[in-house]
Copies of this chain bind each other. A is one copy, B any other.
Amino acid sequence: MSDMTSNADAPRSPGRPRSVRADEAIVEAALDLLAEGSTIEALSIEAIAARAGVGKATIYRRWAGKEALLLDALRRLKGVMAQPEGHSVRDDLILLVGAIGRNVDPRASKIMPCLVPEVNRSPDHFRLYQNIIAPRRQLMREVLRRGIDEGLIRADIDLEVTMALLTGPMLIQRVLRWNPELDEQTLPEQVVDTVLAGIQAR
């Protein structure tokens, strides 16, 4: 958010208040257009305004430009994280791996690939991306540590490398359709089992 209406204890400014519906509609319109295949920079303020049923001025009243609006919209997209049950390390890992690129919001999986170039270009987007995935990495890290504590996993493994091993295959398949012959349904289980076999305590 880049404006003032957010202060809850504001001394109630006079005049007509900003429409919360408009806020929602604008963000939703932007995400919808992206999910429908529009590129980030093919996306225009005009198109967003038209889709949201809103005047352009209403958008410029809230955000400085396309960049600020998108950063804001993407923040709301991330959705909720999968929560591992804590019973079996293997099951928890399969759950986490299967959740990669599977956000609650179905638009997310279509939008993500569009952001790859941005992540490399803009430090802001890079930070945003890291902020989104950092808690998920932390979740996986904790499950792996639990596996070590339980004696299932060797204690001398490199946690970060292991997480990359679990995440990488799923990510390239979901984002890039890297290998058309791979089955996304069974991939999480296959990945987890193979990696576990490589890092299990003997």
Question: Which residues of A line the B interface, CB within 8 A?
Answer: 37, 39-42, 110, 113-114, 116-117, 119-121, 126, 129-130, 133, 137, 157-158, 160-165, 167-173, 175-182, 187, 190-191, 194-199
Contact = CB atoms under 8 A, between A and B. Distances in A.
A114 B162 CA distance: 27
Scoring A116, A133, A177, A190 by chain B CB atoms within 10 A of each residue's CB, the highest score goes to A116
A117 B114 contact: yes
Contacts of A160: 179, 181-182
A165 B195 contact: yes
A180 to B, nearest CB: 7
A187 B160 CA distance: 10
A187 to B, nearest CB: 7
A195 to B, nearest CB: 6
Contacts of A164: 168-169, 172-173, 178-179, 182, 187, 191
